[in-house]
């Protein structure tokens, strides 16, 4: 459980909030001083969760930091919290997504440039809460919000746990080999009639 020295509840008026480059929860309303305070707290939350995700994946450098999000144009972080935990609430998980222009191999091995490819960039649920369906809740919220389907998502360096997650919840198994670190599933290039 990830607790902070400050009360997270004003930032989480709902269990899942969305954060983009302004480093404010999408639900946030406040004056300039309140915004500054909120962005500083949000930065701390994102940096801590990003570091925990990196630790879980044994990465030397976190994929997710507040600074990186601030500089990004088309990345979104979904954060999941439990406001009833302890005195200040606790943050439980993070899902970072974005779009990228990628050169990808299709099923026949031909290279295609795919603009605005939906990408799953970082995903983490705290160890104490894994395998309880919370990752699925966060992922489903993201899919609905972004209007994406799982089969149309590319996944950046998925861990074994994420591969298991995508297989279990979305039946995604057969991949299309790529030269980069992204994993694509069969059906990615289909016109939509057979989406998962």
Which residues would be at the binding site for ligand ACO (CB under 6 A)? Answer: 53, 56-57, 120-125, 130-136, 155-159, 161-162, 164-165, 168
Distance CA 7, CA 12 (A): 10
Burial class (CB in 10 A: 0-12, 13-18, 19+), 85: middle
**Beta carbons within 8 Å of 68's beta carbon, 6+ residues apart:** 75
- What is the smallest separation between the CB atom of 28 and ligand ACO, expressed in angstroms? 25
Spatial neighbors of 98 by CB under 8 A, at least 6 apart, are 72, 74, 75, 76, 119, 121
Q: Which is nearer to ligand ACO, 60 or 87 (CB)?
A: 60
Minimum Å gap between C-beta 30 and ligand ACO is 31
- Which of residues 28 and 165 has its CB atom nearest to ligand ACO in the complex? 165
Least separation in angstroms between residue 165's CB and ligand ACO is 4
Residue closer to ligand ACO (CB basis): 29 or 131: 131
Of 147, 159, 148, 151, give the one whose Cα is nearest residue 186: 151
Instruction: Name the residue number minimizing CB distance to ligand ACO.
Output: 135
Closest separation in Å from C-beta 172 to ligand ACO: 11
């Amino acid at each position: 459980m990830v607790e902070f020295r400050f009360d997270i509840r004003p930032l989480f008026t709902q269990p899942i909030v969305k954060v983009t480059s302004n480093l404010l929860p999408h639900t946030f309303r406040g004056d300039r001083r309140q915004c500054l305070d909120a962005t500083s707290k949000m930065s701390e939350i994102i940096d801590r969760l990003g570091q925990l995700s990196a630790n879980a994946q044994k990465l030397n450098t976190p994929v997710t930091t507040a600074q990186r999000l601030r500089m990004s144009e088309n990345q979104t972080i979904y954060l999941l919290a439990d406001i009833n935990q302890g005195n200040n609430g606790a943050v439980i998980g993070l899902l970072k997504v974005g779009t990228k222009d990628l050169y990808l191999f299709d099923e026949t091995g031909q290279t295609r440039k795919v603009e605005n490819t939906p990408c799953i960039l970082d995903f983490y649920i705290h160890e104490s809460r894994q395998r309880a369906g919370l990752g699925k809740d966060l992922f489903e919220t993201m899919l609905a919000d972004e209007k994406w389907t799982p089969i149309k998502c590319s996944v950046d360096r998925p861990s074994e746990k994420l591969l298991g997650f995508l297989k279990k919840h979305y039946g995604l198994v057969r991949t299309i080999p790529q030269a980069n670190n992204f994993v694509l599933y069969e059906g990615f290039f289909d016109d939509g009639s057979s989406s998962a």
